[in-house]
A and B are shown apart, each in its own frame.
Chain A
């Protein structure tokens, strides 16, 4: 995301329009990202509900993938997963790490 200069932002840090928090992509903070082994996933949704940033995307009742724009890499999903099918890994997240079936 291109960051604005001091001349382009509202004064005093004021946010001059509502509902802008989605534009603040906190995913840039992370060092580790969740890598999911979908073959072991039993679709219990623990990760979905425990994620503090609501990053797990659910499609047709199934956990589908993670929105890396907002995932800060906290690792709570990996901790709570009963099947240990989420591993926290360094490097760029794999965009293909999506439920296939």
Chain B
């Protein structure tokens, strides 16, 4: 796609998300505000008011209702979207699982924020990580640009006839959602063609073919319905790459399971999700100038998780540090658990160390990351496992 078909704008991550929604032009959006997601729906609501989209906006009384209305709209046969964060996602949780179980291809934007208590409005990943087993595709974004592109990809992947699963697209609350960066938008028509028409296989409002969705299934069929979800997730993994290739044609960017930054010859690798990956890249660049073999692995597709592919790129490393921005109390951090799991079958089995950082928006600095690299390059055990925690 030539550059003339692109428009460069200064957008926050939240606005990038809303711009993607404008171009997708969903039939229904049910929404309830919550910090730091509010600017997504606020920007989109203005677009609706200005007549830029045909969307029917439903202002509901809670997130449980937001997801319920989105689910109803999707089941009826319309393209439906919503957005939330933190305790809003927690309140949705019952319906989040139901949407996946009913195989409704909803796309939802998440501005990651800590879960209560104590109440905290800042970024960590405990909200979306609490939903990692809910049967949704999960895509984590580093920048506003990625938020925009991942949202487009998510809609196509969710609605793929062999996938039919809901998808959530994550961005770091405040760090990405409220930060103004340069975002290249594709031409509206180009996106419209990429997204295409939503063609549900079964819809409640087809009066010529009455159906019943979400019925009772006991010990005789429940298990089979879950197995279908398992298989759909497997398909989603391969179709992610295919949809990504199509999206590449209009954006010129690549869509891989993860971003591997300077890791081919790296002795020491940090694995981290979302915006912190940007900080790590800066440190990698600086340390590479000093001849230090360091690299970054930034997983993008977290559900389904690409175990084999992650093992392929990590198994040559000597030392790996995995940075989790959420705690799994009494267990390993969610990302650390997956990385270690991926490496169990590799011959070399490099050492993997677990670090927790940034809970409730606690800052992480380049100096913190350099200290981690310095320690693991020396083959040492990292002394500070809860970065910046007193």
Shortest 10 CB-CB distances between A and B: which pairs? A12-B103, A6-B224, A15-B212, A6-B227, A18-B210, A12-B102, A13-B225, A11-B103, A13-B217, A14-B213
Interface membership of chain A positions 1-39, coded 1 if the CB is closer than 8 angstroms to chain B and 0 otherwise: 001111001111111111000000000000000000000
Alpha-carbon distance between A40 and B82 when the two chains are bound, in angstroms: 65
Residue positions of A touching B, CB distance < 8 A: 3-6, 9-18
Contact of B328 with A by CB under 8 A: no
Contact of B214 with A by CB under 8 A: yes
Known: A5-B224, A6-B227, A6-B231. A11 touches B214 (CB 8 A): no
User: A5 contacts which chain B residues (CB < 8 A)?
Assistant: 224
Alpha-carbon distance between A36 and B385 when the two chains are bound, in angstroms: 73
Contact of A6 among B202, B215, B228 (CB under 8 A): B228
DSSP majority for the A interface? loop
B202–A9 touching, CB < 8 Å:
no
Alpha-carbon distance between A17 and B211 when the two chains are bound, in angstroms: 6
**A and B contact pairs by CB, cutoff 8 A, 12 listed:** A6-B225, A11-B103, A11-B228, A12-B101, A13-B213, A13-B217, A13-B221, A14-B102, A14-B211, A14-B212, A14-B213, A17-B210
Contact of B102 among A6, A13, A16 (CB under 8 A): A13
A4–B224 touching, CB < 8 Å:
yes
Contact of B164 with A by CB under 8 A: yes
B224–A12 touching, CB < 8 Å:
no
* Nearest residue, chain B, Cβ from A1: B220
Interface membership of chain B positions 183-223, coded 1 if the CB is closer than 8 angstroms to chain A and 0 otherwise: 00000000000000000011000000111111101001110
A10–B224 touching, CB < 8 Å:
no
Q: How many residues of B contact A (CB 8 A)?
A: 24
* Nearest residue, chain B, Cβ from A16: B211
A9–B211 touching, CB < 8 Å:
no
B202–A14 touching, CB < 8 Å:
yes
* Nearest residue, chain A, Cβ from B232: A11
Most buried by B among A4, A6, A9, A11: A11
* Nearest residue, chain B, Cβ from A8: B224
Alpha-carbon distance between A37 and B101 when the two chains are bound, in angstroms: 47
Alpha-carbon distance between A12 and B232 when the two chains are bound, in angstroms: 11
Kindly provide the distance from the CB of B31 to the nearest chain A CB, expressed in whole angstroms. Answer: 24
Alpha-carbon distance between A18 and B211 when the two chains are bound, in angstroms: 6
Contact of A12 among B209, B225, B227 (CB under 8 A): B225
User: B104 contacts which chain A residues (CB < 8 A)?
Assistant: 12
User: B221 contacts which chain A residues (CB < 8 A)?
Assistant: 3, 9, 13
User: A6 contacts which chain B residues (CB < 8 A)?
Assistant: 224-225, 227-228, 231
User: B215 contacts which chain A residues (CB < 8 A)?
Assistant: 13-15
* Nearest residue, chain B, Cβ from A28: B220
* Nearest residue, chain A, Cβ from B217: A13
Alpha-carbon distance between A13 and B212 when the two chains are bound, in angstroms: 9
Interface residues of B in 153-207 (CB under 8 A from A): 164, 201-202
User: B202 contacts which chain A residues (CB < 8 A)?
Assistant: 10, 14, 16
